[in-house]
């Protein structure tokens, strides 16, 4: 996205947060950016298109920050805490984006944006589920979908306190605290033998197939970053086999799972191994 569009988006989000989407005119956005109304339409066909690209811009920015950590060599738990911290920091930095969404909750977005928001939600489910699976292992698989939903609820409430009530917290300490809360949840499932309400079969029914293909794109990006950073020949060979397999129209699940098993021997790659196994469900 070019810098002029980013400037318009960042100025528009401030106006939407203050006045609301419906109450903000294109002329007001243009004035805020120091451009003509005609110049606005050179970049965005309408205010609705601007809103869609605004969501896409912030989502991609967040994904990039989080994915940069995914390819780093860290233990799964350390990596997840770091990603939580980055998520909280990014949201706090762009607080107007959250304030706008709170203001607009009573106003239905158009179908395109509704679809995009659903897609973001499905990606979030997969993100948290994969990381919890990497941390707690296959033995806890039946709990991870429910735990991922609880984590997202916790995170949302903490973020609301930071953004809407202006509480000051140390982001790293907050991320560690959320991680400990997840420990308690997972221990509770095991100790009491509770059955999760949100099961894998339920999630299979609600997550669309196209999200799975987008998940593959994320996996391939991570594998390519590992290729750039890794020196261990076994890992490099494993990554090359995976990339070659994903280039085929019909990849072999047995090969993907076999390569995931190799990556699982290296704790720093448990996260991507979990994503590979989830993709083959």
The helix/strand/coil state of 199 is coil
What secondary structure letter does DSSP report for 197? S
Domain ranges of the chain: 54-206, 210-280
How confident is the model over 208-226, as pLDDT tens digits? 766 766 778 888 888 998 9
**pLDDT value at residue 125:** 85
**Residues contacting residue 238 through CB under 8 Å, at least 6 positions apart:** 259, 262, 263
Average pLDDT, the chain: 86
Instruction: Check: CB of residue 251 under 8 Å from CB of residue 245.
Output: yes
**pLDDT value at residue 209:** 67
**Residues contacting residue 117 through CB under 8 Å, at least 6 positions apart:** 55, 109
Element (H, E) at 208: none
Which band of pLDDT confidence, cut at 50, 70 and 90, is reported for residue 251? confident
Is 35's pLDDT higher than 80?
yes
Q: Does domain 54-206 have CATH number 1.10.3470?
A: no
Which band of pLDDT confidence, cut at 50, 70 and 90, is reported for residue 178? very high
Q: How far apart are CA 58 and CA 182, in angstroms?
A: 27
**Dihedral of alpha carbons 245, 247, 252, 257, sign:** positive
The percent of residues in the chain predicted with pLDDT above 70, rounded, is 94
Query: What is the mean predicted confidence (pLDDT) over 17-29?
Result: 89
How confident is the model over 51-101, as pLDDT tens digits? 889 988 888 888 778 777 866 778 889 989 999 999 999 888 888 877 877
How confident is the model over 94-103, as pLDDT tens digits? 888 778 777 6
Which DSSP string corresponds to 120-189?
A: HHHHHHHHHHHHHHHHH-GGGHHHHHHHHHHHHHHHHHHHHHHHHS-----HHHHHHHHHHHHHHHHHHH
Closest among 142, 157, 128, 141 to 197, alpha carbons compared: 142
**pLDDT value at residue 106:** 47
Q: Which of 90-94, 175-179, 265-269 has the lowest mean pLDDT?
A: 265-269
Radius of gyration of the chain (CA): 21
The number of beta carbons lying within 10 Å of the beta carbon of residue 87 is 20
Instruction: Check: CB of residue 50 under 8 Å from CB of residue 9.
Output: yes
Is 150's pLDDT higher than 70?
yes
């Amino acid at each position: 996205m070019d810098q002029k569009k980013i400037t318009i988006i960042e100025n528009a989000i401030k106006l939407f947060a203050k006045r609301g989407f419906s109450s903000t005119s294109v002329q007001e956005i243009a004035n805020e950016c120091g451009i003509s109304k005609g110049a606005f339409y050179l970049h965005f066909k309408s205010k609705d298109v601007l809103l869609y690209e605004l969501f896409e811009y912030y989502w991609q920015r967040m994904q990039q920050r989080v994915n940069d950590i995914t390819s780093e060599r860290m233990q799964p738990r350390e990596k997840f805490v770091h990603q939580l911290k980055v998520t909280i920091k990014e949201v706090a930095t762009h607080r107007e984006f959250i304030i706008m969404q709170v203001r607009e909750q009573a106003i239905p977005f158009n179908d395109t944006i509704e679809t995009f928001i659903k897609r973001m939600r499905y990606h979030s489910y997969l993100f948290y589920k994969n990381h919890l699976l990497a941390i707690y292992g296959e033995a806890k698989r039946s709990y991870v979908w429910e735990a991922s939903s609880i984590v997202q609820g916790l995170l949302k409430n903490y973020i609301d306190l930071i953004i809407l009530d202006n509480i000051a917290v140390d982001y790293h300490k907050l991320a560690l605290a959320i991680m400990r809360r997840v420990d308690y949840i997972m221990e509770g499932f095991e100790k009491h033998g509770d059955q999760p309400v949100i099961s894998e079969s339920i999630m299979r029914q609600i997550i669309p197939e196209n999200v799975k293909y987008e998940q593959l794109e994320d996996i391939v990006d991570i594998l390519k970053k590992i290729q750039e950073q890794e020196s261990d020949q076994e890992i490099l060979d494993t990554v090359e086999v995976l990339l070659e397999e994903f280039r085929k129209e019909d990849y072999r699940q047995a090969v993907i799972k076999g390569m995931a098993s190799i990556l699982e021997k290296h704790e720093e790659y448990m996260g991507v191994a979990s994503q590979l196994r989830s993709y083959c469900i």
